[in-house]
Amino acid sequence: MDSSLFTADLPCKSLLQSEALLEYILRTSSYPQELELLKQLREATVKKYNFKSVLTVPIDEAQFLGMLLKVMNAKKTLEVGVFTGYSIITTALALPEDGKVVGIDPDREAYEVGVPFIKKAGVEHKIHFIEADGMSGLKHLLENGEEGTFDFIFMDADKDNYINYHDMLLKLVRVGGLIGYDNTLWFGTVALDDEAPLPEVLKRSRGPLLELNSALTADPRIESTILSIGDGITLCRRLY
Ligand SMILES: C[S@@+](CC[C@H](N)C(=O)[O-])C[C@H]1O[C@@H](n2cnc3c(N)ncnc32)[C@H](O)[C@@H]1O
C-alpha cells in the first residue's frame, strides 16, 4: 500500500465523537491493561512507520478480541493482514499453549518488526506466518485440507475486496465460528451522503464497504452484528 496515503490529516481511528471519551477509555481501561511488550511494539511501529502506524489495530479493539477468543475457547485462528503483529500477538496470547494462529501478509519486512516482540511474548510456537497475499494464502489453506477448522478469522487487509474473500472465509471457519471484518464503519464515512467531500484514501474503500455491509446482513449462511469499537468490526457467525 502507498505509504504516502497516510498523513496527519486522517481522522482519528475511533468512531467516538468525543476525543475526551476515547482518551478516558484508553486511560482508564486499555493502557493500564496493555502488556509492556505490546506498548513497546506500538512504539517501534510508530518509529518505523510514522503515520502509517495507524494500520495497527486500536488497543481497545485488540483487548476486546483477546477476551472474545478466551470466552470462545478458541484454539485455531486465522488473521489476514498482520502488519507488525499487534493483533496476532494479542491473539496468540489468548490461545491455549497448543493453540495456533495462521497469519497471512505479503509484507515480511513489517512482520519482522514484530518478531522480537513475538519472542518476548513467548508465543512463537503458536504463530505460523504465510508470506502471501490474502487470496493465495486462503487458497493454500483450502488446498491443504483446512476447510472448517478455524474458530475465528480476523480479516484486516485488502478492504476493497472483502466481499470477494467472503465465500472462502466461510469455508475455512467452522460452523458456529466467527469471522471479524475490520474497519466496516470506515472512519464513520459509511453514514455520510455519497456526495460528501472525502480524502482520496477514504473515498476508495467506502463503496466496497457499503456493499459488504449490505451483503453480510442479507447472507442467510451467517448472523452478523456491527460493533462500533475501533473503526467498526462486523462479527459474522457461521450458521451452517
Ligand atoms: C491494517 S494492516 C493490519 C494490522 C494488523 N492486524 C495489526 O494489528 O497491526 C493491513 C495489512 O494488510 C497487508 N495487506 C495488504 N494487502 C494485502 C493482501 N492483498 N492480502 C493480505 N494482506 C495484505 C498489509 O501489508 C498490511 O500489513
Q: Which tens digits make up the pLDDT trace of 64-116?
A: 999 999 999 999 999 999 999 999 999 999 999 999 999 999 999 999 999 99
pLDDT > 50? residue 1? no
**What is the average per-residue pLDDT within 202-209?**
95
Q: Rounded to an integer, what distance in angstroms lies between the CA atom of residue 207 and that of residue 173?
A: 26
* Percent of the chain predicted with pLDDT > 90: 90
pLDDT at 201: 85
Q: 41: how many CB neighbours lie within 10 A of its CB?
A: 24
Between 20 and 74, the higher pLDDT residue: 74
pLDDT > 90? residue 165? yes
Q: Rounded to an integer, what distance in angstroms lies between the CA atom of residue 233 and that of residue 155?
A: 9
User: What is residue 64's three-state secondary structure?
Assistant: helix
The DSSP letter of residue 115 is H
What mean pLDDT is reported for the chain?
Answer: 94
pLDDT > 80? residue 6? no
> In the CATH scheme, what is the code of domain 15-238?
3.40.50.150
Q: Rounded to an integer, what distance in angstroms lies between the CA atom of residue 52 and that of residue 117?
A: 19
The atom number, within ligand 1, closest to the CA of 86 reads: 8
57 lines ligand 1 (CB under 6 A): yes
Q: How confident is the model at residue 7 (pLDDT cuts 50, 70, 90)?
A: low
58 lines ligand 1 (CB under 6 A): no
Domain layout of the chain by residue ranges: 15-238
User: What is residue 34's three-state secondary structure?
Assistant: coil
pLDDT > 50? residue 57? yes
Sequence-separated (6 or more) residues with CB below 8 Å from residue 185: 15, 191, 226, 228, 231, 232
pLDDT > 70? residue 30? yes
Whole-number Å distance, alpha carbon 10 to ligand 1 midpoint, is 18
**CB–CB of 58/16 below 8 Å?**
no
156 lines ligand 1 (CB under 6 A): yes
User: pTM of the entire structure?
Assistant: 0.94
Whole-number Å distance, alpha carbon 197 to ligand 1 midpoint, is 26
pLDDT at 19: 85
pLDDT at 5: 56
The DSSP letter of residue 146 is -
**CB–CB of 59/31 below 8 Å?**
yes
pLDDT > 80? residue 2? no
**What is the average per-residue pLDDT within 134-154?**
98
User: What is residue 4's three-state secondary structure?
Assistant: helix
Q: DSSP alpha helices (H): ranges in 99-236?
A: 108-121, 134-143, 162-172, 200-218
